[in-house]
Structure 1
Amino acid sequence: VRLKKLFLFCIFFCSIALAEVTFVGVVVHAESDVPIVDVNVNIKGTDSGDATDLTGSFIITVQEAGTYEVIASAIGYESESQIITLEEGKSKEIRFELVSRVIQLDPVMVLKERSSLVGLGKNFLRIPGSASVITRRDLDRYSDTDINSIIARVPGVYFQEEDGFGLRPNIGMRGTGVERSSKINLMEDGIPIAPAPYSSPAAYYSPTAGRMESFEVRKGSSQIKYGPHTTGGALNYVSTSIPRDFRVRANLFGGQFNTTKAHINVGGSGEIFGYLLETFLDKSGGFKKLDHAGDNTGYNKSDYLAKFRFNTPRSFSIPTAIELKYSVTDEVSNETYLGLSRSDFAVDPLRRYAASGIDEMNADHTQMVVTGAVKPFENVDVTVAYYNNGFGRNWYKLSKVGGKSISSILSTGNDHPDYALLSAENTDDNVFQIKANNRIYEAEGVQFVTNSRFSLLKTSHSFMAGFRKHTDGMDRFQKVDKYGMQSKRLVMTSEGVLGTGSKNNRLYTAGATSFFLEDEFEVGVMRVTIGIRAEDINVEKKEWKGDATGSGGSWNDPDRTLLPGVKSKELSVVVPGVGLVFQLTPSLSLMSGVHKGFSPPGPGVDEEDDIKPEESVNLEFGFRYRSGLTEVESIVFNNHYQNLLGDDTQFTGEGTYDQFNAGAVTINGLELGASHIVRQAERMIPLHLSYTYSTTEFLTSFESNFEPWGTVKTGDELPYVPRHQLFAEVGLENKQWRSYLRFRYVSAMRTVAGAGQFDPVFSTDVVTLLDFSSEYVVTSASHLFLKVHNILDSHPVVATRPAGVRPTMPRNIVAGVKIIL
């Protein structure tokens, strides 16, 4: 009924459709014929316009036929305009060839440059290391809110699904661990966004993917300046930019599983002031079915963002700009760590045991960033940013049944003596232990970046220097309540006390001071980027393990009146890297790079526990080809770990947060990406393909309490790294319709370290997913949208952790309207 009402509203709203005409075209570099990204193409005297994507393509629809002046402008290029006459009912193809000019960014554009990992006006052929951008146009095709679906198109990026919605992403790059995305640098607008990247990187947080306008992925030698994790790479969530002119956008969707989504923003800019107000509201009733009751297994997420920017007039002698960004996110999700046994999964993969009926994540996040940019000289810019992130979450979830951990019960399966309790209608008291995983995270820092462009010995240089002072912490203050099942309902039979119980009263803190230097210069046909990052890190853990009552117990000091046990660690690290790009032709370049990989360790369990940092040497070599509407990139990489680091979170084990060293590991891989646009009269057929091949190998034998490793022998493969990943997409676009089909294939993965043929008990299934989306252009201001996720309604086992096997989201149909004013 809701869906029907939404469609009726869309039809009513869009009944103002007129006979429109369309400009389609491409913008290329005049000398190399390489498409240029982020070119603003506008029709003079109107609000109609578009920005080119990575293929240099743009589409603009106007209300009526006539003669128009079309202007193309981009940072680093001379603007060009053309006078075009359009006939009613026809589209017009336009080609712009822009000439390069020296980039002189004003402070407003400097702010945008520093929020990006790939920069503005960059020629992708000249970027050292791997760089991928998921553009607004890519995102508009499917309007995904699941970060896993969004980044699946990027080669060299791995993820493990957990809840089917992408609420708890587990992302890795080039063979790094995927656990809670703890081994990559998560950023939003170039600012660290992980709640505590030094003291507790496995914090189960991801920004709201649905409100972003693009995503950037950097891998290889040129990403070391971001830190602290430099082996894999960095994922940058790029939030909606303040628009140049007044604009209103609204995406209103509804669908199966009581899904409703609303993404609305309004903003504009004047000569000295700009603003953006945005909200993203996302709600679902969930797709899993609880035993005994039809309770909600979905989530409700609300996200609000405001940006305000002030800048000096253009005539000001020292151009300056300052931007304030503030966001608030609230999430309540009825999610659990409890999966299914393999036997039950085979019968009904969407089942959920009654014992998890009251599991709930309650999370709140705030972010404030103040960034200033100044240009004291034409060739020098300076930015300073202060950031503060606060994240509080209490995941109230089933931990033990009958005194046994849920992971141990489900690893044994239906034969475990306590298995029947998971779906029992009545039990004794205190059978179910439900832990309040209550954590408060705080992160604060200041970062300074200066960039200067100059010539030295007849060689042009772009020199960048940066400094960051960062502190973060996690306050772990938990309790365990006990329940019994009474007439199919969980009833509390023993209430716990916050701060009591094993490992439930801990405080982790960390501080880091880092510097980086990077110089980019050309020697003949070779562009060299050389950089170094230096970092001083201190981490500390406090545990209140004593008994404040004096009765000789342990972990019974909720008021923290006794002296805590303290374990700390200090370390310094220098991370160098160098990248080379050989420009063989205007369309073809070779690239290579080498850099040091690093991830900081925690303080350790006790004085005898000396955890070493994760360190590696990382190599890459490949080529890029771009000509017209064709782009191909292929990279071979090798990550050689001297010491691999594992974290015992409850996601991967018992939740002790102890760390384990694994010694030497080698990871080899191939990344391939290709895209092409076929033009047929008034139609365009975009094609995209990406593929990743990976091999992993432990080079030493050892015993470990870390569940995914266990007993490891030399030659064993790492868990949760697929051998093959494939993403393919095809579309059909004309002035009225845009339809797309995408396919994702992921080979089976080991769930524990091993060698030889896969054991079905210790591996995931092959994943094959097919999605479809279509958009109908009613007017330039209103589009109708339809998406079918998982068309074939497949139900593979995508993971066997945190506890038990898990499915991906089943078939889901979503429809709605997109409005642009």
Structure 2
Amino acid sequence: MIKKFLLCFFSILSLSFAEVTLSGLVVDYESGVPLRDANVRIVGTKLGDATDISGSFKIDILDPGSYEIVVSVIGFEEASQTVSIREGQSKEIRFELRSKILELDPVLVLKERSSVVGFGPKFLRIPGSASVVTSRDLAKYNDTDINRIITRIPGVYVQEEDGFGLRPNIGMRGTGVERSSKINLMEDGIPIAPAPYSSPAAYYSPTAGRMESFEVRKGSSQIKYGPQSTGGALNYISTSIPRDFRIKANLFGGQFNTYKAHVNIGSSGETFGYLLETFFDQTTGFKNLDHAGQNTGYSKADYLSKFRFNTPKSFTIPAAIELKYSITDELSNETYLGLSRSDFSIDPLRRYAASGIDEMDADHTQTVLTGVVKPLANVDLTFAYYKNEFNRNWYKLSKVGGSSIGSIFSSSANDHPAYALLSAEDTSNDVFQIKANNRMYKSTGFQLVANSRFSLLNSYHNLMVGYRDHSDEMDRFQKVDKYAMRSKELVLTTTGIWGTGSKNNRFYYADAISYFIEDEVEAGPFKITVGVRAEDISVERKEWKGDISGEGDSWNDPNRELTPSVKEKKLDVIVSGIGMVYKLNPSFSLISGIHKGFSPPGPGVDEEDDVKPEESVNLELGFRYRVGLTEIVSTIFNNQYQNLLGDNTQFAGSGSYDQFNAGQVNINGLELAASHIIPIGQKFIPLHISYTFTSTEFLNSFESNFEAWGTVMAGDELPYVPKHQLFSEAGLEDKAWSSYIRFRLIDAMRTVGGSGDIDSNFSTDVVALLDFSAEVSISTSSRFFFNMNNIFNNHSVAAARPAGVRPTMPRNFVAGVKITI
């Protein structure tokens, strides 16, 4: 079958095409720097393209003739050229655009507010580290796993958990990766984490497969986003409302009974625009359950709608408003249970029978209403109301024979008394405790931003003032059922009672009022950004741990009739930062910055808890070099923590949900990214490489119940931070087809703090993965694509938590078709 498939694939590659290709570059007139996201259109037709980060565009034309090509990009004057194309001829043209004072109409203001890196000249002169995974980058490999998508960005760390990216663990510049709790997770510039203040370590990530692009902003210029300000912000950019009527569909399938569909339809008129979109994703999984071999995959459906109304351009005070509503439904047969190291060495894709009925049932809804008014040409006021609701119940194995699943793998010898029960065929009653980890999250907020652009004393200012009123909550209402194994099947023997048992009946609430002011000042070769963010945070925890029966038990108040215990914490914090760009010449700039990092603690578990907020001082220094089709960006960074904060979740510890301060920690690192495009006739060879070096060190000795830290000596390295990371990519692009190959390497990571040589029993493996993709035109509106990931079928230990080691995804391929009408 594979031979037939490959024969068909390469036969399609060899087909001749009637179209000719119009390709070219769009660059800054002054510096020659390529301009990304420029809109290139052919007048009188619906043909067009948008430039990528190299400034390149490519349009396939069916009929020869004379065409007027118009290019526009925010912050630059519009330009046009007329070209004549003969049959069988391809044409290359170059546009050099002159910059102009940036005056955005309300629709473009909405787009800018959804971004954390900006666009046009602003993106080229950000006083800090900023990276974008563009729609073109996404189209190369058709990734739907956020871990694969962002590994191309230096300074970003990921820890695999399920192999699909359903529950990513992401950190930046040495922050912890646990459940992505130490970064600002956003969608279209709006906080998207279920409860970023009251419960930041929640398991949630937006559906990466339906996104248009991804942005990462690190360093001094990201403090206005909050509340996590040490590492950075990850912004998911959803599909934009198209300018003209458009239907797009990506349909593909592959190994492990994988089927995916991404379809959207939309259009814009003078005063109205809309987008309707769906993304469906399902697979039976790649792991093999003992005994039964049931489905270990998932199904996920995502639906999104956007409706935009705006005033006609002739209005004296232009305005626009956009409503966005999305629904996500996920059902995944995922577990916390990994493997022992000895079992992993025999069959890394094995899964123990005791986890056979583990299942995550999750639903998410988001409503966002954003609007903008421009009372003056250089002033705009933007507001946003948002509401996120996330309900999930992860029904998963918690204990076996009275032992927590994490403790079973404390030894590599499989000698724990409960180990033999993991795949037993028959057991006594109540051996397996399966907990319904039921959580209901809600977050709501209103934010207002005023922006003014003006000149003062021979300098240009972009002044922004913002306000946000945010509240979020987490309702933890759980139960524990008990099972026995009967003839290789799990059978319920004792039904638990909702809201009873230790820590199964809790409610967390947080309210945060925040303000920020930021001024970007341009004077000659200097661009200086100064910002201050102030937050007033209140966090509260309620626990119903009394006994409604009056018999002296604890955690026995399922209907919440008794007065709960209450723990509160209030914080007032001010974080500030300053960043600078010095433009030595049109191609070379120096960047530097310093800012205060902050991460808010929860209220604590016990009454005597006095967990301090995580604070840090963060510095960066680097350069940007852009000329023609070459770009190099390099940054060194240093994060000096005063009170590193750790969360003892079940993912990273015993599940007590205690928080710990680790005192002083020092993190140093280097980020490097370089890209170049080699033109060869009508073909292009795009090259890209990124590298991250990170050095971490505890500066204090201490004892901790937090499993990942344990007994720490001064000089120990932090766990789950790789010393070296490498990403490289090369491609070959022709008018009718393209192919790419990428290599990803993540160094072995400690799974507990330590120093010296890494003990293989307490580390991950070096993960080295090679992927290939190819795409070919079938017609002007459709393309066929093929991807193979992990070509050499590398089975590395990607993580040793939660509860055992787990592999990378094995070799897999997908193929499909992309249709645009």
Deviation of the 1:17 alpha carbon:
9.2
Report what 2:95 is aligned to.
96
Question: What SS does the corresponding residue of 2:327 show, helix, strand or coil?
Answer: strand
Distance in 2 separating the partners of 1:67 and 1:16? 27
Contact 1:665 1:697 in 2 (8 A): yes
1:766-806 CA-to-partner distances (Å, cap 9, x unmatched) read: 00000000000122210000000100000000100001000
Which residue identity lines up with residue 550 of structure 1 in the other structure? G
Where in structure 2 are the equivalents of 1:160-171 lying within 5 Å?
160-171=159-170
SS of equivalent residue, structure 1 residue 26? strand
| Distance in 2, Cα, partners of 1:770 & 1:205 | 28
Aligned to 1:225: 224
- CA-to-partner distance for each residue in 1:671-706, whole Å, 9 max, x for gaps? 000000000001000000000000000000000000
1:412 aligned partner? 411
Secondary structure of the 1:559 match is coil
Secondary structure of the 1:786 match is: strand
What residue number does 1:364 align with? Answer: 363
Structure 1 residues 440 and 3: CA distance shift in structure 2, 3 A: farther
Alpha-carbon distance between aligned partners in 2 of 1:87 and 1:772, rounded to the nearest angstrom: 35
Question: 2:39 and 2:176 mapped to 1: Cα distance?
Answer: 39
Q: Does 1:112 align with 2:111?
A: yes
Counterparts of 1:45-64 in structure 2, within 5 Å, are: 45-64=44-63
Partners of 2:360 and 2:669 in 1: how far apart? 37
Deviation at 1:573, TM superposition (A): 0.3
Distance 1:208 1:124 in 2: 25
Looking at structure 1, the residues matched to 122 and 56 of structure 2 have their Cα atoms a distance apart, in angstroms, of 15
Q: Which residue of 1 aligns with 2:73?
A: 74
Specify the alignment match of 2:391 in structure 1: 392
| TM-fit CA distance, 1:607 | 2.4
For the Cα contact (< 8 Å) 2:791–2:811, is it kept in 1?
yes
- Cα drift, residue 11 of structure 1: 11
Aligned-partner Cα distance in 2 for 1:180–1:579 = 29
Q: Residues 752 and 236 from structure 1, CA distance in 2 versus in 1: closer, same or farther, beyond 3 angstroms?
A: same
CA distance in 2, matches of 1:491, 1:10: 51
Q: 1:31: which partner in 2?
A: 30
Q: Which amino acid is the alignment partner of residue 797 of structure 1?
A: V
Match runs of 1:326-405 below 5 Å: 326-405=325-404
Q: Which moved more, 1:266-275 or 1:15-24?
A: 15-24
Partner of residue 649, structure 1 = 649
| Equivalent in the alignment of 2:261 | 262
Given residue 227 of structure 1, which amino acid in structure 2 is its aligned partner? G
- Pair 121,690 (structure 1): closer, same or farther in 2 beyond 3 Å: same
Q: Which residue of 2 aligns with 1:564?
A: 564
Aligned letter for 1:412?
A: S
- Is residue 460–residue 523 contact of structure 2 (8 Å, CA) maintained in 1? no
Q: Which residue of 2 aligns with 1:482?
A: 482
State the alpha-carbon separation in 2 of the partners of residues 579 and 33 from structure 1: 25
Matched residue, 2:796: 796
What aligned pairs does 1:191-230 form with structure 2 within 5 A after superposition?
191-230=190-229
Consecutive aligned runs of 4 or more in structure 1 exceeding 4 Å deviation: 1-12, 14-18
Q: 2:550 — aligned with what?
A: 550
1:255 and 1:813 in contact (8 A); partners too: yes
Q: Does 1:121 align with 2:120?
A: yes
Q: Which amino acid aligns with 1:211?
A: R
Matched-pair contact (CA < 8 Å) for 2:17–2:736:
no
Structure 2: any 5+ residue segments left out of the alignment? none
Question: How has the CA–CA distance of structure 1 residues 742 and 2 changed in structure 2, closer, same or farther, with 3 Å as cutoff?
Answer: closer
Deviation, 1:69, is 1.1
The whole-number CA distance in structure 2 between the counterparts of 1:807 and 1:395 is 21
What is the alpha-carbon root mean square deviation over aligned residues?
Answer: 1.8
CA shift in 2, pair 1:4/1:264, >3 Å:
farther
**CA distance, structure 1, for counterparts of residue 88 and residue 132 of structure 2:** 34
Q: Which amino acid aligns with 1:176?
A: T
Aligned-partner Cα distance in 1 for 2:49–2:391:
39
- Residues 289-327 of structure 1 show CA distances to partners (whole Å, capped at 9, x for unaligned) of 000012000000000000000001111111010000000
How far the C-alpha of 1:65 sits from its partner, in A, is 2.2
Structure 1 residue 2, shift from structure 2 partner: 13
Aligned-partner Cα distance in 2 for 1:578–1:756 = 37
Distance apart, 1:523 and its partner CA:
3.1
In the alignment, the residues of structure 1 paired with residue 793 and residue 403 of structure 2 have an alpha-carbon distance, to the nearest angstrom, of 34
Deviates more, 1:115-124 or 1:547-556: 115-124
1:533/1:732 Cα in 2 relative to 1: closer, same or farther (>3 Å)? same
- Aligned residue for 1:320? 319
Q: 1:47 to 1:16 in 2, by over 3 A?
A: farther
CA distance in 1, matches of 2:94, 2:660: 57
Preserved CA contact (<8 Å) 1:10 1:817:
no
One-letter identity of the residue aligned with 1:400 = K
Q: Measure, in 1, the Cα distance between the counterparts of 2:481 and 2:5.
A: 44
Cα deviation, residue 522, structure 1: 2.1
Corresponding residue number in structure 2 for 1:699:
699
Alignment of 1:723-738 (within 5 A): 723-738=723-738
Q: Which residue of 2 aligns with 1:677?
A: 677
Report the equivalent of 1:421: 421
After superposition, what is the alpha-carbon deviation per residue over 1:401-434, rounded to whole angstroms, capped at 9, x for unaligned? Answer: 0000011002224111110100101101100000
- Per-residue CA deviations over 1:523-566 (Å, capped at 9, x if unaligned) read 33211100000000000000000111111100010000000010
Shift of 1:78: 1.0
* CA distance in 2 between partners of 1:96 and 1:600 (Å): 48
Quote the Cα distance in structure 1 between the aligned partners of 2:358 and 2:760: 29
> How far apart, CA to CA, are the structure 1 residues paired with 2:403 and 2:115?
47
C-alpha distance 320-675 of structure 1, shift in aligned 2 (>3 A): same
Q: Which moved more, 1:98-107 or 1:249-258?
A: 98-107
Alignment of 1:409-488 (within 5 A): 409-413=408-412, 414-488=414-488
Q: Secondary structure at the match of 1:292?
A: coil
Deviations 1:501-531 (A, max 9, x none): 0000000000000000000112332111000
SS in 2 for 1:653: coil
The alpha-carbon deviation at position 374 of structure 1 amounts to: 0.5
Query: Could you state the TM-score of these two structures normalised by the residue count of structure 1?
Result: 0.98
Q: In structure 1, give the amino acid aligned to 2:262.
A: H
Query: Which residue in 1 is equivalent to 2:634?
Result: 634
Secondary structure of the residue that 1:498 maps to in structure 2? coil
Cα separation, 1, equivalents of 2:345 and 2:353: 18
Question: Do the aligned partners of residues 251 and 507 (structure 1) sit closer, same or farther apart at CA in structure 2, a change above 3 Å counting?
Answer: same
What is the CA-CA distance between 1:122 and the residue it aligns to? 3.0
Which residue matches 1:720? 720
CA deviation vs aligned residue, 1:261-295 (integer Å, no higher than 9, x gap): 00000000000000000000000110000000120
Equivalent residue letter for 1:417: P
Report the Cα distance in structure 2 between the residues aligned to 1:376 and 1:412, rounded to whole angstroms. Answer: 67
SS in 2 for 1:109: helix
SS at match of 1:201: coil
Structure 1 distance, partners of 2:607, 2:406, is 30
Paired-residue identity, % = 70
1:578-621: CA deviation from partner (whole Å, max 9, x where unpaired): 00100000000001000000000000122211000000000000
Alpha-carbon distance change, 9 to 325 in structure 1, aligned in 2, over 3 angstroms? farther
Distance in structure 1 (CA, Å) of the matches to 2:501 and 2:2: 47
Distance 1:281 1:209, change over 3 A: same
CA distance in 1 between partners of 2:623 and 2:160 (Å): 31
Partner of 1:596: 596
Which residue pairs with 2:664 in the alignment?
Answer: 664
Q: 1:57 offset after TM fit, Å?
A: 0.7
The letter of the residue matching 2:808 is T
Determine if contact 1:125/1:625 at 8 Å carries over to the other structure. Answer: no
CA distance in 1, matches of 2:789, 2:356: 27
Deviations 1:322-364 (A, max 9, x none): 0000000000000000000000000000000000000000000
CA distance in 2, matches of 1:83, 1:571: 62
Q: Structure 2 CA distance, aligned partners of 1:814 and 1:6?
A: 13
Structure 1 SS opposite 2:121: coil
Is the CA contact 2:241–2:274 (under 8 Å) kept in the aligned structure 1?
yes
Task: Tell me the SS of whatever aligns to 1:643.
Answer: coil
Distance 1:157 1:674, change over 3 A: same
Q: Report the equivalent of 1:508.
A: 508
CA contact (8 A) 1:6 1:816 kept: no
User: What amino acid is aligned across from residue 606 of structure 1 in structure 2?
Assistant: D
C-alpha contact 1:392 1:439 (8 A) present in aligned 2:
yes
